[in-house]
Amino acid sequence: MVEESDLRKYLEKWDKTYWPTYKVLDVLQKVFYRSNPAREAFVEMCADEYVQKMTFDSYLYKTVVPGNPLDDLKLAVNTIGSLVRANALRKEMQKL
């Protein structure tokens, strides 16, 4: 019979293995699901080929794969630009 201690042991192993994945997903949710402009920026980010490659590789290998630091920096700059642009467009749309 499975005991509570067995489940805890299994969950500890699971959490240790998949913690980085869930942490990344948690950060994405907190950043990109707080407003409509943020969701628009998320859509733009997902159109990026590098993001698609990293997402596919992470899914394939069941872990957050390490990326190219330069490409990560480019992605961060583009994403910040998308967030700024989406917020500016929201203000323009509210004026109409």
**pLDDT, tens digit, for every residue of 28-86?**
899 899 888 889 889 999 999 999 999 999 889 888 889 999 999 999 999 999 889 88
Band of pLDDT at residue 21, cut at 50, 70 and 90: confident
Structural domain total, the chain: 1
Q: Fill in the DSSP letter of residue 78.
A: H
